[in-house]
């Protein structure tokens, strides 16, 4: 009998991570797209860092930062009674940081590809920056938003290094990719096959959806 | 009365441009800003709209300061009562034509005004369509309706008809005049097109080297044959009631009839 719990944990993690990332990334991507601050490149590099950093490195530093020996870990423990290592909230925070560029970059590119005149025209019609973002900019970058959502979701599902470092291999934190690794270690190839096939099909379906909608989005722009 | 005395230095095409512009415009008048490319005509409109901040100076509309460097005051673009018709249409692709027109209307829409503007612009058949399905002329007619429907104190037109063919240009000129006869706003427009200036403008501000060098009615400004600000007069015919000029501007011959 296949235990589907790792998939439920994975989907829950991906859903929560993507939801939080969506809310956080819109203002961040807007700032990166339009800000003229000279040191912007530093923030762009920080956002993109998870793309090139080995997941184990990121996971290690997060584990150290969350531990009770660190100032951050002590602060969270003392003031919020929160311990992040080897817990689901810890997994969520690690996933958010790890998938940040997958949400921010498509949205930033979407903003940058819009004609500046759209934003300016909205201001001349009496609309504030927030109204302009909600009523004009976001509706015109739907394809970018969808790309960000789907890529972040898919990337969170495929995580291994970061979640292993922060969450370990416990029942409450074992996501699908770790369950595959665990099954192989136990020489349970049948379960590993099943888990792997489900992840493979799911990942393919997600990417197919992205390309389908991007094609439609491009056609609408034309 | 709309008054401004503004200064701005910027770099355009590798060249430093110093603008020092001072004028007072009577309310309800249509004023053309005329000058060669790159002298800063569009920058003037952008400063009046708040999209570009002047280095120093003052902009006063009625009894309200929109910008005052000495008082460190700069009213944001969205708080200024303006309409801005850009050269490149700038309709919102996600909205229908009707939603575009209503986008800038605050509070309860003035349905009678909206209906009249839609009728003048011949937009009734287009209301449910998306901007991408419209021709250039249709898009600019919608953009004009959007800018004017909120009854701005100052309407800024940045070469609004330059991308249109001659027939559509004339139609839009008629529309601008018809619409302004209803809302009676002050219009400042940038144009390279002399017939357009003659058709629309009550007054012309000639801009050279970053300052206004001449001001007057189109006939006063362009009656002289030494109109070096716009180009070279290649021929001139004196008629009984008018004088016809053929002028070389940017490689094109333009015909202008000046009433006597």
Count CA atoms closer than 13 A to B227's CA, side-chain side: 28
Residue written as token pair 């012309």:
B204
Residue B249's pLDDT is what?
62
Instruction: Identify which of A177-186, A204-213, B251-260 has the greatest average pLDDT.
Output: A177-186
Question: In this predicted model, what pLDDT tens digit does every residue of A123-144 receive, in sequence order?
Answer: 999 999 999 999 999 999 998 9
What tens digit of pLDDT does each residue of A4-32 get? 899 999 999 999 999 999 999 999 999 99
Q: State how far the Cα of A26 lies from the Cα of A46, in Å rounded to an integer.
A: 16
Asked if residues A66 and A94 have their Cβ atoms less than 8 Å apart, the reply is no
Provide ipTM, 2 decimals.
0.84
- Checking DSSP bridges between strand B56-61 and strand B64-68, what pairing results, if any? antiparallel
SS3 for B248? strand
Alpha carbon distance A61, A54 (integer Å): 11
Structure tokens at B33: 């800003």
| pLDDT above 90 for A69 | no
Judge contact between A64 and A70, C-beta under 8 A: yes
Q: Residue A4: what pLDDT? A: 87
Q: How confident is the model at residue A115 (pLDDT cuts 50, 70, 90)?
A: very high
pLDDT at A42 over 90: yes
Listed by start position, the domains of chain A span: 5-221
Residue of B nearest to A138 (CA): B94
Distance CA B77, CA B75 (A): 7
Query: Do A125 and B76 make contact, defined as CB atoms within 8 angstroms?
Result: no
Unique residue bearing structure tokens 């006869």: B181
Rounded distance between C-alpha atoms, residue A125 and residue B106, angstroms = 9
Nearest-CA distance A172 → chain B (Å): 44
DSSP string over A24-53: HHHHHHHHHHH---TTHHHHHHHHHHHHHS
**Closest by Cβ to A117, choosing from B77, B83, B90:** B90
**Nearest residue in B to A121, CA atom:** B90
pLDDT for res B151: 87
The two tokens of residue A87 are 């817990």
Q: Please provide the size of chain A in residues.
A: 222
**Residue A222's pLDDT band (boundaries 50, 70, 90)?**
very low
- CA–CA distance, A111 with A172 (Å, rounded to integer): 39
d(CA B64, CA B185): 16
Distance CA A150, CA A212 (A): 12
Residues A195-220 have a mean pLDDT of 78
The pLDDT score that the predictor gives to residue B225 is: 44
Say how many C-beta atoms besides its own lie within 10 A of residue A35's C-beta. Answer: 11
Distance, CA of B190 to CA of B243 (rounded, Å): 24
* 3-class secondary-structure state, position A126: coil
Shortest Cα–Cα distance, A20 to chain B (Å) = 26
Q: Which residues contact B143 (CB under 8 A, 6 or more apart)?
A: B85, B86, B89, B90, B91, B160
- Dihedral of CA atoms B105, B160, B93, A112 in degrees, nearest 10, equals -110
Polymer length of chain B: 260
Looking at the domain A5-221, which fold is it?
MetI-like fold (1.10.3720)
Chain B residue with CA closest to A117: the answer is B90
Domains of chain B, first to last: 2-222 (3.40.50.300), 229-260 (no CATH)
How much is the pLDDT for A220?
A: 43
Q: Choose from A126, A131, A138, A143 for mutation: most chain B CBs within 10 A.
A: A126
- Is the pLDDT higher at A43 or at A168? A43
The answer, for A134 touching chain B at a CB cutoff of 8 Å, is: no
pLDDT of residue B80: 95
- Tokens linked to B246: 């053929």
CB contact set of A30 (below 8 Å; sequence gap of 6+)? A111, A133, A137
Give the pLDDT of residue A121: 93
Q: What is the pLDDT along chain B (260 residues), one digit of tens a residue?
A: 899 999 999 887 788 889 999 999 998 899 999 888 778 888 999 999 999 999 999 999 988 999 999 999 999 999 999 999 887 767 999 999 999 999 988 888 888 889 988 888 888 899 999 999 998 888 988 998 998 888 899 999 998 887 777 777 888 888 888 888 888 899 999 987 778 888 889 999 999 888 999 898 888 887 664 545 455 666 667 777 776 766 666 566 666 666 66
Q: Which of B70, B253, B44 is nearest to B154 (CA)?
A: B44
**Chain B residues with a Cβ under 8 Å from any Cβ in chain A:** 49-51, 76-79, 82-84, 86, 88, 90, 92-94, 103-104, 106, 132, 146-147, 150
């Amino acid at each position: 009998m296949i235990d589907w719990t790792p998939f439920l944990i994975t989907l829950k993690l991906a859903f929560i991570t993507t939801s939080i990332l969506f809310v956080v990334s819109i203002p961040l991507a807007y700032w990166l797209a339009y800000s003229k601050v000279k040191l912007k490149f530093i923030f762009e590099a920080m956002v993109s860092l998870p793309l090139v950093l080995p997941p184990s490195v990121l996971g290690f530093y997060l584990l150290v930062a969350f531990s009770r020996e660190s100032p951050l870990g002590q602060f969270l423990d003392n003031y919020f009674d929160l311990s992040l290592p080897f817990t689901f909230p810890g997994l969520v925070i690690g996933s958010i940081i790890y998938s940040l560029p997958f949400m921010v970059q498509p949205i930033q590119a979407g903003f940058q590809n819009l004609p500046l005149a759209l934003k300016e025209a909205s201001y001349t019609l009496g609309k504030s920056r927030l109204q302009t973002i909600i009523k004009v900019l976001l509706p015109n970058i739907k394809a970018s938003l969808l790309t960000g959502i789907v890529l972040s979701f898919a990337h969170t599902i495929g995580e291994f290094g970061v979640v292993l470092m922060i969450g370990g291999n416990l029942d409450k934190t074992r996501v699908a990719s770790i369950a595959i690794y665990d099954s192989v270690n136990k020489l349970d190839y049948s379960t590993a096959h099943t888990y792997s096939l489900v992840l493979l099909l799911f990942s393919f379906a997600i990417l197919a959806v992205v390309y389908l909608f991007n094609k439609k989005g491009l056609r609408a722009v034309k | 009365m709309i008054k401004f005395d503004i200064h701005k230095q910027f770099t355009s095409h590798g060249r430093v441009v110093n603008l020092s512009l001072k004028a007072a415009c009577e309310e309800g008048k249509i004023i053309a800003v005329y000058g060669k490319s790159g002298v800063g005509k569009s920058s003037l409109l952008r400063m009046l709209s708040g999209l570009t901040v002047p280095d120093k100076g003052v902009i006063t509309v009625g009894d309200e300061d929109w910008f005052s460097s000495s008082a460190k005051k700069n009213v944001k673009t969205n708080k200024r009562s303006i309409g801005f018709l850009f050269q490149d249409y700038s309709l919102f692709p996600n909205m229908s034509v009707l939603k575009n027109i209503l986008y800038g209307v605050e509070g309860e829409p003035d349905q009678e005004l909206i209906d009249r503007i839609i009728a003048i612009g011949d937009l009734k058949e287009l209301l449910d369509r998306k901007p991408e399905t419209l021709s250039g002329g249709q898009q600019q007619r919608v953009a004009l309706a959007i800018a004017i429907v909120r009854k701005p104190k100052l309407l800024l037109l940045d070469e609004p008809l330059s991308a249109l063919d001659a027939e559509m240009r004339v139609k839009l000129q008629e529309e601008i005049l018809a619409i302004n006869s209803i809302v009676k706003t002050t219009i400042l427009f940038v144009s390279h097109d002399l017939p357009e200036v003659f058709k629309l403008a009550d007054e012309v501000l000639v801009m050279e080297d970053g300052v206004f060098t001449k001001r007057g009615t189109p006939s006063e400004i362009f009656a002289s044959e030494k109109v070096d600000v716009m180009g070279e007069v290649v021929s001139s015919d004196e008629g009984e009631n008018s004088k016809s000029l053929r002028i070389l501007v940017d490689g094109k011959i333009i015909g202008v009839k000046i009433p006597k």
